[in-house]
Structure 1
Amino acid sequence: MSRPMALSEFTRLPPAVTVDCVDGLAGGIDRVAARAAPSHRFLRYGWFAAALSAYGGEARTLMVSREGDPVAALPIVAMGPAWAGMAAVPGCYWPFRSFPVSEDAGAEAAEALLRRLAGEARALRIGPVYDGDSGLELLKAAAKERGWAVLDRFVADSFLLDMAALRGEGTWPRNSTLRKNRFHEKHLGSHGALDWSFVSGAGWDDAAFDALAGIEQHSWIADRTDGSDAKFTANGHGGFWRAAAADPVLAEMMWAAVLRVDGKPSAFSFDLNAGTLKYAIANSYDPAYGKHSPGKLLYYRNLVRAIEDGMTRVDWGAGDSGYKRTIGAAQGPAIRDWLFVRPGVEAALARALGALWRRSGNRGAAAAAASAGESAGGAEAQRVVDADEAQHGHEEQHGA
């Protein structure tokens, strides 16, 4: 009679990983987003649906499952002429364009995703996205090992404010800053009663969005530009944010601090709250009150409220480094645009032409960085150079 096999003698089979391509946006996106890093949990079905509604496109979704459990969801839309067979991750420029990946997704998920992706598109664009992004890193190592061409172009450096660390070192905001703010508040109050309020969750109704749009219509962005970069107007990106707020989970993440002067909306600071991290998306103010620093007054109040709510860091994104450094922000990860080109003739051609892709990035900031011997950042890196990012700019400026 044969002896029973010991447990150590059994061969452990790798987990079964499958990839399905679904027309449209897959319902499983939210299941993956819920298990992603807290910083990426806004990458929900409603986020991508809002982008398709606002910017157009017909999506397909590559759903990666391990033992039947979804671990990655990659929505894609066609990019460029149909004959090119290129795809891109849809979404909004703010805070970045990526896709949700479960925190426990492994290399086997990336390998399976790439195999299926090669049959769906010749190339995939991801970004602009931060260095170290979970979706990016999942694909990058596996793609290079399997002969894909992986090309990046520099967009900008980000700026991060570590409020917890600064408060640990001493009083923050500084008492001198608070005194200056009280001085400006006193003079701003000469224009009428000041009302400071916050909007989130169920508070996102038409009136709330109209208030933000009204401020933008009186701001520098309406005066000095064609207004297409405004976040909340009808001819800007208002359609995206209104559609995103239809998802109650996203609506809870969306946050605005609003200042009204004598009942009139006069300044706002708009963020996306992701766990203990606050993405600073947009700020604007009515220049009629500019000499009293309404933007500065509002964002300091907003940050103090964030601390009270348990938030520890602020991601200020790219551009206009002056006021961010004054607040205490430091340079963070670079933001880049990426192309993944499938193995074979396409990858060889992409490598040969890779310099063209890199030069189409933020060349002014990159050149300045090279001559200075350090990473590029600041106002020179405020927008991506190519036409797509010119449409999807990054932020307004504060009153100073």
Structure 2
Amino acid sequence: MLPLGTQRVGPFPFASLCGGYFPSRGIPYCGAPDRLAPACEAALRAMKAKVGLRLGPVPHDDAMLTALLPALERGGWRLLRQRVGVEFVLKNPGGLEAYQAGLSSNRRKKVDYYWRKLNEAGKTELRHFNGAGCDWPSVFADIRAVEAASWVAQTGEPRFLGARNERYWNQLMDDPWFNQAVNVWLIDHCGTPVSFALTLDSGSTRYVIANSFDERVAKFSTGSKIYQQLIFDAFGRGLSQVNIGLGDSGYKSGWGARPASTLIDVIAFAPSLGGRTALLAARAREAAAQIRKRRSRSRRK
């Protein structure tokens, strides 16, 4: 049985794979995907209370997704696909020493320069948290303080602020697997937390889940010091790669990351009256969005 939750879009209840939005929400499986896909489609069809299923974000070349989507279409499901973006991944070149040797001297000098300037401006400390012995509620309190003072709190989508997010992360750290898999780096400056990154180790990959900084220290490029440490730590532990996430403005490639899989979202509408109604509503909403875009472009001309 798949671990499914419920997501509502207007009046329509969709099944959704459980878990955080990133790094990905693929279907867990054991066996050959081609053999499992028909049974999975039959199990999903039995969900009488849902009008469809949301799959993703998940890599476009995920083996189970590649097998399941044709099985769903053969079963009468209608699919809407949406491109989320391209992941940038940094491969382990053969150990920490090999990576350090290949890192440009300009990159190392910039990290050292900004770190020195931050320390000159006031007492600064970089802290690392991992494992069951950490005071995780205190750690997440510091993360929330950083996020509250960052651009995310104003124009983005906070991942740690609010009672629900606080409860989610604190409960997650009660799980033995997660408190070993999660790593947090926090920079304190003049007694105040000002920058952080949170990662998740799964298999041989380290995923960068979230990072942010207090706008007051923006000029010190605090993220560069944190990224240096989380990459060094990953390759020092023997992990094969660091998935830095979607998109690149030149910063990720500066660390050696390269484009990898394209993440996609798939909405599968069930072969039922509810599914067909939800599909029509989704297409109408998409058409209305396209009309608004065209009108916006015409006004700018």
Aligned to 1:29: none
Per-residue deviation, 1:300: 1.1
Aligned-pair CA distance for 1:348 = 7.1
Q: CA deviation at 1:240?
A: 2.4
Does 2:136 correspond to 1:209?
no
The match for 2:82 among 139, 149, 153 is 153
| 1:39-54 → structure 2 map (5 Å cutoff) | none
Choose which of 126, 132, 146 in structure 1 pairs with 2:55.
126
Tell me the distance in 1 between the aligned counterparts of 2:195 and 2:108.
19
Q: Is residue 6–residue 15 contact of structure 2 (8 Å, CA) maintained in 1?
A: yes
TM-score by length of 1: 0.63
Cross-structure match for 1:219: 150
Alignment check: 8 A CA contact 1:130 1:336 kept: yes
Instruction: Look up the equivalent residue of 1:298 and give its one-letter code.
Output: I
Q: For residues 170-203 of structure 1, give each alpha carbon's deviation from its aligned partner in whole angstroms, at most 9, with x where no partner exists.
A: 8232222112222222221113333222111211
Q: Deviation at 1:149?
A: 2.2
After TM superposition, list the pairs within 5 Å mapping 1:19-30 onto structure 2: none
Inter-partner Cα distance in structure 2 for 1:360 and 1:316: 34
Residue 179 of structure 1 is aligned with which of 94, 109, 113? 109
1:243 matched residue in structure 2: 171
Query: 1:376-398 CA deviation, whole Å, 9 max, x = no partner?
Result: xxxxxxxxxxxxxxxxxxxxxxx
Does 2:209 match 1:281?
Answer: yes
Q: Is 1:107 paired with 2:34? A: yes
Aligned amino acid, residue 163 of structure 1: N
State the Cα distance separating 1:351 from its structure 2 match. Answer: 7.8
Q: CA deviation at 1:152?
A: 0.8
1:328 Cα deviation after fit: 2.2
Contact 2:51 / 2:272 at 8 angstroms: preserved in 1?
no
How many pairs were matched up?
287
1:117 aligned partner = 44
Q: Structure 1 residues 201-210 or 86-95, which shifts more?
A: 86-95
Equivalent-residue separation in structure 2 for 1:85 and 1:294 (angstroms)? 42
Larger radius of gyration: 1
Name which of structure 1's ranges 147-156 and 339-348 shifts more when overlaid on structure 2.
339-348
Deviation (angstroms), 1:322: 3.0
Distance in 1, Cα, partners of 2:209 & 2:215? 20
TM-score by length of 2: 0.81
Q: Does the 8 Å contact 1:162/1:329 carry over to 2?
A: yes
Residue matched to 1:300: 228
Please give the alpha-carbon distance, in whole angstroms, between the structure 1 residues aligned to 2:140 and 2:284: 40
Q: Which amino acid aligns with 1:189?
A: N
Q: Which residue of 1 aligns with 2:73?
A: 144
- Superposition deviation, residue 278 in structure 1: 1.0
1:309 corresponds to which of 220, 231, 237:
237
1:54 matched residue in structure 2: none
Unaligned runs of 5+ in 1: 1-62, 64-72, 363-400
Following superposition, the deviation at residue 234 of structure 1 comes to 2.1
CA contact (8 A) 2:184 2:198 kept: yes
1:116-150: CA deviation from partner (whole Å, max 9, x where unpaired) = 22121342111222212344234223223333323
Measure the CA separation in 2 of the matches of 1:91 and 1:235: 18
Gaps of 5+ in 2: 291-301
State whether residues 151 and 354 of structure 1, in contact with CA within 8 Å, keep that contact through their aligned partners in structure 2.
no
Tell me the alpha carbon deviations over residues 45-91 of structure 1, each in whole angstroms, 9 at most, x when there is no partner: xxxxxxxxxxxxxxxxxx1xxxxxxxxx3423253456x46322233
* Structure 2 Cα separation of the partners of residues 268 and 359 of structure 1: 40
- 8 Å CA contact retained: 2:33, 2:63: no
Deviates more, 1:136-145 or 1:242-251: 136-145
After superposition, where does 1:356-375 map in structure 2 within 5 Å? none
SS in structure 1 of the partner of residue 118 of structure 2: helix
Q: Which residue of 1 aligns with 2:180?
A: 252
Conserved in 2, the CA contact under 8 Å of 1:79 and 1:88? no
- Tell me if structure 1 keeps the 8 A contact 2:3–2:18: no
Q: Which residue type is aligned with residue 341 of structure 1? A: F
Secondary structure at the aligned position of 1:299 is classed as helix
